[in-house]
Amino acid sequence: MPEEIKPNEVYTTKEAKDFLKVSTSTIKRFLKNGIIQANKVGGRYRIWGKEILRLLSPEIEEKAVDYYHKLKEKTKKKIEKW
């Protein structure tokens, strides 16, 4: 696997998974939910390097943390109602 992510290079889901250090199910969830954009070629996803880099940016991390906290609070409120 290359050590550097090149924005204009095309990567497989396995390569993206390795760069992002996430599980196979997580990369599938990212694709399904549109968190990472990809093109399907021959039945397989191909991901631009710029998409991987976008996910690694600090701004995305901040948004993810905010989303996580909101989701956590929403879940806590649901559980309290039970």
Cβ atoms within 10 Å of 73's Cβ, excluding its own:
10
**pLDDT tens readout for residues 11-41:** 999 999 999 999 999 999 999 988 899 999 9
Mean pLDDT over all residues of the chain? 88
Report the C-alpha gap between 82 and 75 in whole angstroms.
11
Q: Which of these, 45, 43, 56, lies nearest to 7 by C-alpha position? A: 56
Mention every residue, 6+ apart, whose C-beta is less than 8 A from residue 47: 10, 11, 12, 13, 15, 16, 36, 37, 38
pLDDT at 68 > cutoff 90: no
Q: Can you give the residue ranges of every domain in the chain?
A: 10-81
Residue 48: per-residue pLDDT = 94
Model pTM score: 0.65
Q: How far apart are CA 50 and CA 60, in angstroms?
A: 13
